[in-house]
Amino acid sequence: MHPDIHLRLHALRASDLRDRAPRRPAVRDRRPLRTRLGWTLVELGLRLVAAPPAPLRTARIA
């Protein structure tokens, strides 16, 4: 298939899908990036602390 035809078909298909998609307002987090990043790091830290430690494996000497 010729690349120009392929791009045109893609554009038509994308336009058709956009027309069929339900309209809804974009939800955007209003908090600043610094605040979101900070809370994400706090959540990550809490998950690391709450995770049980992995058991230590010792080498067996036979």
DSSP character string of the chain: --HHHHHHHHHHHHHHHHHHSPP-PPP---S-HHHHHHHHHHHHHHHHHHSPPPPPP-PPP-
pLDDT tens sequence across 39-57:
999 999 999 888 777 777 7
pLDDT, residue 31, reads: 84
Has residue 19 got a pLDDT over 70?
Answer: yes
Q: Give tens-digit pLDDT for 24-33.
A: 777 777 789 9
Give the predicted TM-score (pTM) of the model. 0.38
